[in-house]
Amino acid sequence: MLKRVSITLRVSLLFALTSVFVLAGVGAFLYRSLEGQFAQRNTAELVGKVELVRYILAGVRSRQDVPLRRQHFAHVVVGHPSLYLAVLDEGGEVLFASSRLRLPEALLRAAVDASAAPTFTEVWQPSPDQRYRALAAWAGLASETNQRVLIALALDTTEQQALLATYRHHLVVALLSAGALAALVGFFVARQGMRPLKRMAATAYRISADYLSERLDVEHVPAELKQLATAFNAMLTRLEDAFGRLAGFSSDLAHELRTPINNLVGQTQVALTRTRPADEYRRVLESNLEELDRLSRMIADMLFLARADHAQVTLRTEVVDLRAELGKVAEFYEAHAQERSVRVVCAGEGRVTADRLLVQRAVSNLLSNAIRHTPEGGEVELLTARDDDGAVMVRVSNGGHGIPREHLGRVFDRFYRIDSARGSVHEGAGLGLAIVRSIMALHGGRVSVESVPDGITTFTLHFPAVLSGGGHGSDKAAQHTPPREAFHRKALTA
């Protein structure tokens, strides 16, 4: 429930509550100190009067003479309409009283000893709206008589109580008003404070797929929101990047498909312009088949990449003897290499826990590139090695022109080719290295490349030291075997 209350409201309520608490604390403190001051002053006054009356009594010889000093006693209370004074003898008989008031017995019994100075007074409340501060004390008469009388004093504090009640009342009113005012001020302050957030929300609303370049203004945002704005902008950058790549990929795909399909349409149209001998049709069909084969391979590669992207490729991991698998791949390419007078040599050994067919596929993609780029009579080296922390690497190196530095970062991108014009029938689609990268990512490893201009180009597969078994995705996806993969399997696992 509280979670749904707006922050503005919460802040203003908290603000109001805090103000009320602080003001109540201050008010209570001031009230207590005022009350204490009243009590102190009343006590001091009563104590002073006791001393005065004791002084008068010290000059009286016997209790019978006490009433004779009526005049003196009257002076004690004169000008003090709220002060009551009575002098009683030891039997409780009133010798002098300034009014009819009678202090309760209990109070009189607690009277202070004649030799002691009174230090405290008592509150006496005969009825709810009457309140007195009272004091009883014994007093000795002139020394030789050895008699004592009781002084009873009471100060009517009802008026002070009324004053304190008014103060309390004002305090409550002030508190309530301050609370309401604080809530109101808090509301406006909080709303002002929330403005940057609202601005952020407005910007976020404007952002759509076609408007991903919009960014939140990080400079003019309060410190607390800076982190959020920065994270949001970073997310937008990633989204824009992914969207850009997706858009680029779609347009690349359209281009890649357009040329071979145009070729197919063109050739077929030309063939159909007139009747031709059977072997001419055959040649056209063969050429079309070659093109269709290439298209089908490209589509299979793209399917594999798409499935790998969505982690739908199930890894059938096992312990793979790299020496043996590299040998198989090299053997498969032997005829092709011989055709170009290129030698393929294998060296080193190592084992990894990986999907055997995918390892073959990665090495085969690297080797086919290497053979293609090695000058005639050159050599391609397949090397397996283990680095210090137990990770296994496979290196495929070849000589040749090498890969120019500016292309090194991009050769693993889909459809990225360096040396060919798009659509040439004999060239690859530029997906081979993208597949290698995906395969290594599926294995938790990576692929890297180094190239010296007109020197050695080396692609390295880095397998992690320990590979977790199994894989992700469903078996169903893996059963969908694309033709090129099937071709690899048949050829390489035999």
Ligand X SMILES: Nc1ncnc2c1ncn2[C@@H]1O[C@H](COP(=O)(O)OP(=O)(O)OP(=O)(O)O)[C@@H](O)[C@H]1O
Per this entry, what is the length of the chain? 494
Residue 451: beta bridge partners? 457
Kindly state the number of chain residues that form the binding site for Mg ion, as judged by CB under 5 A.
3
Residue 327 or 400 having the CB closest to ligand X = 400
Contact status: 53 vs ligand X (CB under 6 A): no
218 binds, among ligand X, Mg ion, none (CB under 5 to 8 A by kind): none
Q: Which of 432, 445, 464, 471 binds Mg ion (CB under 5 A)?
A: 432
Rounded least distance, CB 468 to Mg ion, Å = 29
Q: Minimum CB separation from ligand X for residue 443, in Å?
A: 18
Question: Closest separation between CB of residue 494 and ligand X, Å?
Answer: 22
Report d(CA 116, CA 178) in Å as an integer.
50
Exactly one of 27, 432, 445, 471 binds ligand X (CB under 6 A); that residue is 432
- For residue 465, the minimal CB distance to ligand X (Å) is 27
Q: Which amino acid is at 86?
A: A
Residue 418 interacting entry, from Mg ion, ligand X, none, C-beta within 5 to 8 Å by type: ligand X
403 binds ligand X (CB under 6 A): yes
Asked if residue 430 binds ligand X (CB under 6 A), the reply is yes
Q: In angstroms, give the least distance from the CB of 433 to ligand X.
A: 3
Nearer to ligand X, 157 or 397 (CB): 397
Number of residues binding to ligand X, judged by CB under 6 A? 21
Of 69 and 414, nearer to ligand X (C-beta) is 414
Task: Please state the closest distance from residue 304 (CB atom) to ligand X, in A.
Answer: 11
Q: Which segment (80-88, 154-162, 188-196, 430-438) binds ligand X by CB under 6 A?
A: 430-438
Q: Which of 445, 457, 463, 467 binds ligand X (CB under 6 A)?
A: 457
Which residue from 429, 439, 447, 492 is in contact with ligand X, where contact means CB under 6 A?
Answer: 429
The option from Mg ion, ligand X, none interacting with 431 (CB < 5 to 8 A, set by class) reads ligand X
Nearest distance, CB of residue 291 and ligand X, angstroms: 14
Q: What minimum distance in Å lies between the beta carbon of 431 and ligand X?
A: 4
Which one of residues 141, 359, 370, 467 is an interface residue with ligand X (CB under 6 A)? Answer: 370
Q: Characterize the bridge pairing of strands 351-355 and 317-321.
A: antiparallel
| Number of other CB atoms surrounding residue 144 within 10 Å | 7
363 touches ligand X (CB under 6 A): no
Report the site for ligand X in 283-312 (rule: CB under 6 A).
Answer: none
Stretch that binds ligand X, among 97-105, 257-265, 302-310, 363-371 (CB under 6 A): 363-371
428 binds Mg ion per the rule CB under 5 A: yes
Separation in Å, CA 136 to CA 68, 97, 139, 150, 459: 21, 13, 10, 7, 110
According to DSSP, the β-strands at 94-97 and 83-88 are antiparallel
Report the distance separating Cα 16 and Cα 10, nearest Å: 10
Q: Which stretch binds Mg ion (CB under 5 A): 278-286, 334-342, 414-422, 431-439?
A: 431-439
Q: Per-residue x/- marks for Mg ion, 363-382, CB under 5 A? A: ------x-------------
Binds 398: which of Mg ion, ligand X, none (CB < 5-8 Å by kind): ligand X
- Of 68 and 456, which has the nearer Cβ to ligand X? 456
Q: How far is the CB of 381 from Mg ion (least distance, A)?
A: 18
* Alpha carbon distances (Å) from 411 to 300, 379, 431, 476: 20, 22, 9, 31
Site for ligand X in 321-360 (CB under 6 A): none
Q: Which residues bind Mg ion (CB under 5 A)?
A: 369, 428, 432
Q: Which residues bind ligand X (CB under 6 A)?
A: 365, 369-370, 373, 398, 400, 403, 411, 416-419, 427-434, 457
